[in-house]
Amino acid sequence: MTLRRLGNSGLQVSVVGLGCNNFGGRTDFEGTKKVVHKAIDLGITLFDTADIYGESGGSEEFLGRILGERRKDIVLATKFGMEFGKSGVKVGAARRYITMAVEDSLRRLQTDWIDLYQLHQPDPKTPIEETLRALDDLVRQGKVRYIGCSNLPAWEVVEAQWTSRHHNLESFVSCQDEYSLVQRGIVEKDLQAAMQKYGMGLLPFFPLASGLLTGKYKRDSAAPAGTRFATTQRLADRYGTPANWAIVEALEAFCKKRGHSLLELAFSWLLARPCVASVIAGATRPEQLEHNVKAAGWTLSAEDLAEIDRITLSKT
C-alpha cells in the first residue's frame, strides 16, 4: 500500500482509506470486525469515522472494541460538530462542546489520542477563532495530533488558515469533501486553489457516488437488492440523473477500451488530482476492500486525463 503525506503535515496516510460510516448501522459488530481486520491486513491505515456515525456513537464504539493492539498501526480520524443525538444541545464548534465531544470520542474509541480531529461542518454561531483555540489546546494536551475540516466553503477555509497564522494556533491540515467523477464542481471551483495555497491535503468522500461509479447500476434497470440505490431513494434520485448516466456510460466505454473497470477509474482518477492524499470509501464486506485497493493501481496518462475531462465536464 502506497502512503502519502497529508498536505504539508507530518501525517502519512494510505492512498485508500476506510470510511467507517456503515459501522454500527448497516454493518453489525461481527461484520465490522471482519472489515476492520481485513483493511489493516491489506495495508489500509486511514480509518475515518465520526461521532454521529452508527446511530450516534456506534461506529466509534465498534472501533474501540475491535482495534485493541492494532490501534497503533492505523491513523484514526474522527469528526465532531454535527448534531449528536436529538437533544439539540450536542452540536456545533464552540469550546464548551468541543471539550466534551473529544472526551466522549476518546472514551468510545478506547484510545488516548486521535490522529486527525475534524470539524464536520461549519458552525455559523461560533467564531472560528474560538474553535481553533479549543482545538489548539487539544493538540497541546496530546489528545489530538492534527486537525482538519469537512464541508467548509473555500472562504471559510481561508479565514480559518489566516486566523491560525495570525494567532499562532494549530491549523487545519486537511479538507474532507465530496469529490468524484460526477461531482467535481465544489472542489475544483474554489476549494482546490485554497488547499494548494495553504498546503492542505484533500480526503474525498463519496468517491463512488453511492455506487454509481462501480458499474453495478444500469440506466432504467432496477438497482440490485441491498444496494444504496435500492434502499435509499434520495440517493438514487440525487446521483441517477440523466447527466450522470451520460457520464457513466461514456466512462464505461473509455475503460473498456483500455482494459480497466469503472471502479479502477474512480479511484485512480482521484489519486491523480491535486492535493488528494487518500480516497475514503466505505465497505460492508472484506472483499470490497480488496477491490478498492486493487482499483487504486491504474496510472492514467495525460491523454487519459484530458479525455476524462472532455467526458465529465462537457456533460455537466
User: Half-sphere exposure of 17 toward its Cβ, with a 13 Å CA cutoff?
Assistant: 30
* Active site (catalytic) residues: 53
What local confidence, expressed as pLDDT, does residue 55 receive? 86
What local confidence, expressed as pLDDT, does residue 132 receive? 98
Q: CA-based diameter of the chain, in Å?
A: 56
Give the global pTM: 0.94
What local confidence, expressed as pLDDT, does residue 216 receive? 87
Handedness of CA 262, 268, 273, 276 (dihedral sign): positive
pLDDT tens-digit profile of 81-122?
Answer: 999 877 777 889 999 999 999 999 999 999 999 999 999 999
Q: Which residues pair with 183 in a beta bridge?
A: 180
Please give the helix or strand (H or E) that residue 14 lies within, else none.
strand 12-14
Q: DSSP readout, 162-219?
A: HHHHHHT---EEEEEEE-BTTB-HHIIIIIHHHHHHHT-EEEEE-TTGGGGGGT---T
- First-to-final CA distance of the chain: 34
What local confidence, expressed as pLDDT, does residue 315 receive? 56
Domains defined for the chain, CATH in brackets: 3-208+265-299 (3.20.20.100)
pLDDT tens-digit profile of 258-291?
Answer: 999 999 999 999 999 999 999 999 999 999 999 9
Q: Which residue matches cell numbers 464505461?
A: 252
Query: Which parts of the chain have pLDDT scores under 50?
Result: 316
The CA–CA distances, whole Å, from 277 to 4, 286, 302 equal 6, 23, 20
Q: Which of 271, 281, 219, 220 is nearest to 250 (CA)?
A: 219
